[in-house]
Amino acid sequence: MHSLGRQIVAEFYHCEEACLADSDYIAAVMQGAAEVAGATIVTQTFHEFSPHGVSGVVVIAESHLSIHTWPEHGYAAVDLFTCGEAVSPELAFEHLKICLKAGQVSTMELRRGQLEMMTADAPPEPMAADATVTPLRRIGSAQA
C-alpha cells in the first residue's frame, strides 16, 4: 500500500515524572527525535501548564511531531506524522522511548493519503450539499 504519509500514534506509560514536567527537556528530546528521524525542522513551540504538564509540537517540512504530557500519571501521548520516504518515524519513536524513560509503550500506525484511493478509475460521487450527517455517538453515552 502506497501512501503520502505515515503516522505513529504512541502512548508512553510509566515515564519519569521529572522528564515529563520539564518543558525545556521535552523540547530538546522532541527536537532530537526530529533530527534522528532525518526530518527538516521548520519551527517548534512548547507550553508548560500549571500545575504540571507540557504540550508541544515540532513542525517539520515533512509534517509534525507532537506531545502532550501528564507527569502526575507518568504518561505522554505522542503523534509522529511524517511524509515521504526519507524520514523515519520509527527512529523518532525509539529516541523518545529512551529519553522519556518509558516503562511501557503502545503504538498504532496509520497510512495517510492512500494513493490507491486517489487514482481509482471511478471516484465516488461527492456528498450532496444538503445531505444529512449523523453525529457520532459517544461510547458509554446514554443516548442510542
Would you please indicate which residues are annotated as catalytic (active-site) residues? 63, 68, 83
Cα 15 to Cα 73, 91, 124: the distances in Å are 8, 19, 45
Q: CA 31 to CA 42: how far, in whole Å?
A: 11
All cell numbers assigned to 13: 506509560
Three-state SS at 84 = coil
CB 39 within 8 A of CB 115: no
The angle at the Cα of 55, spanning 78 to 64, to the nearest 5 degrees, equals 50
